[in-house]
Structure 1
């Protein structure tokens, strides 16, 4: 998929859902951009915890966010819920690049097949026991869990 293309549901390999809250709406009456980043972060970490079967916070190597960004195509609105599609763009030795699509509940105005937004989320794995936090290889439990998300 080219960077300029708007992602669709078929671009993602795993799914989660989140309910939007009253507190997510900003002074302009739409879901605040900071909430999108919370949704992206939560979707990735919920997937990792569920699929790896371990407490990801207690592994000898943990994923820290090295980069996060978001492309917005249309607003999502409160009240409502969103579907979060997850895929892995790149699985490296010590880093993972995720793409997380944010899809509103189906409505009559726009096809629900197109993402309202897409986040790019980069985890770099670091030594959880060393205060200097040097980068280290991705733990086997994590690599095994995310392998199913790798897309080409």
Structure 2
């Protein structure tokens, strides 16, 4: 069983997770309400072990500090993540909701620009958007590496 620090998927597929996030965000009339909801999503992340908050786990290119850990179980990749910024923690929660608990194949076939399509990256600073893009890139690279290792 995957440790309690890793995000366990709520939906059956990454596509379903993206659709659910789109539906949830559409409930809010303005960006302030969406931001508040995203911050609340960050509070739903499982506790991230302090020993993983190091340079080895740090995602490069992020304005805030973001850390990511991966575990593989039964052919699926599970991710744990954290950030020192509230809004970024929420974005981390969204990304992990989509990608954690998926096979490498599903991760690699899931569209990487779903946050952009939701309008979130345009509403954030360029550095925050670049940081989240870096995190997705690391997840994709991890999936690619695991697929090649099989």
Point out the structure with the larger strand share.
1
TM-score norm. by structure 1 comes to 0.27
Instruction: Mark the structure with the bigger radius of gyration.
Output: 1
Normalization by structure 2: what TM-score? 0.27
